Amino acid sequence: MAETPEYDVAVIGSGPGGYVGAIRAGQLGLKTVLIEKDNKFGGTCLHVGCIPTKDLLLNAEVYNYFQHAKEFGIDCKGFSINWPAVMARKTKVVTKLAKGVEFLLKKNKVEVVQGYGRLAGPGRISVTDAKNQSREIQAKNIVLATGSEAKMIPGLAPDPKTILSNKEILDMKELPKSMVVIGSGAVGVEFASIFHRFGTEVTVIEMLPRMVPLEDEEISSELEKAFKKQGIKVHTGAKVQKVTKGAKGVSVEFTDVAGKAQMLDAETCLVAVGRAPNTQNLGLEKTKVKLERGFIKVDPFMRTDEPGVYAIGDIVAGSPLLAHVGSMEGIVAVTHAAGKSAEPINYRQVPNCTYCEPEVSSVGLTERQAREEGHKVKVGKFPFAGNSKAAILGEQTGFVKIVSDERYGEILGVHMIGPRVTEMIAEAVVVMRLEGTVEDLEHTIHPHPTLTEAVPEAAHAVFGMAIHI
């Protein structure tokens, strides 16, 4: 019998948390193996999440520019959407990035094993391949990075044409004429923006009182106004009662905010009601790993209660389900496993970005959260209507909002809605990490004309002294 291989680190799952953790482990000189059930690397984010959706958002933006070309002094005639070409570009981008991940794994001497991995005992993983053949891998440290799956409304099952999750919608063969989106979190509003710009009649139904409910309330209000102005129908405080598939599409029955029964007919229905952790069938039942609503509880170094077992990414209790968070958690976990100094994540300094139109980004506390925590809050806001670069772009919807503590000028949160704000939020993250104040932002010179000028202007607005145009 062949000797069972031994590794310093074994990672189960090759999403942004898993592959980044594995690569960092290799960089640290650890003998590393990455176990992936599919024959591709990058997980949900790369293949059916972050990357393909952003590619489609760009296509939709380009098409929108053609539609409004006259505003820029350009006459365009005879243009149309070539949907197969749109989808082909998306696939090309995803394939290129997946090959890049594979190259980095090889470069850093990470061994890859294809198959379904589950814990088989202390320091042991059982891997079952596509032919149902099993092998066992031993490792001093095991990192669970198995990600999450889209939740589905009870009684519904996704299909390629009518009832869609984030997977099926990215493989549609043609553009639908109409779509109902259930849920207005990041997934829901991003796809609503994509398909509305491509000409689909879109209706968004949200059970909670406001869109993007994790964001600051003023951001939610501004996004809802922007959606409605574009022609996207929005129903907040609405509860879906029944979804029925028919020969021509789908019927969605719901009660609106006033309790009145409503029904919508559409060709397609996207269900975007959240994600569930992939923690079943991992062999956790025979370990000391503790779960909370299906998510794994960890300490600041990503350790579970089972010695030598770490968990990162979407399966972690209390952790934002974001690719960049999973990547940093992977780095923290394997750095700690290597016996080196690892810095725990400050989850209050995690940026959140939603790539709808207009874009939304944020970091830190909302105004309501800051007040509930007892802070004496001072708020500064600056609208993109007063920003020169936004005027040049023809995109002046939205604003930058800074939530600060009055006593010392501590920045508690920064919230943005408007053009390119997902590229701007990193500045706020850096300032908060370095414990910068509102005054520090005020006195940081920004180039003109840029969208980023709205940030120091929001800082000036904290003291009622915003100026710029």
Q: Which of 324, 336, 443, 448 is catalytic?
A: 448
Cβ contact 204:189 at 8 Å: yes
Amino acid at the residue 258: A
Closest CA to 330 of 7, 22, 44, 34: 22
| Cβ atoms < 10 Å from Cβ of 114 | 16
SS (H, E, C) 355-424: CCCCEEEEEECCHHHHHHCCCCEEEEEEEHHHCHHHHHHCCCCCEEEEEEECCCCEEEEEEEEECCHHHC
Among residues 195, 189, 187, which one has the least CA distance to residue 356? 189
The identity of residue 313, as a single letter, is: G
* Alpha carbon distance 324, 345 (integer Å): 12
Q: Which two tokens stand for residue 144?
A: 């669970």
In angstroms, the CA 78 to CA 298 distance is 57
Q: Is 350 exposed, middle or buried (0-12, 13-18, 19+ CB in 10 A)?
A: middle
- Which DSSP string corresponds to 103-155? HHHHHTTEEEEESEEEEEETTEEEEE-TTS-EEEEEEEEEEE---EEE---TT
Cα within 13 Å of Cα(204), Cβ side: 33
**Computed over its alpha carbons, how large is the radius of gyration of the chain?**
24
Q: Are 16 and 326 in contact (CB under 8 A)?
A: yes
Phi, psi torsion values for 130, nearest 5 degrees:
-65, -20
Q: What are phi and psi of 266, to 5 degrees?
A: -155, 165
User: Is 448 an active-site residue?
Assistant: yes
**Catalytic residue ranges:** 448
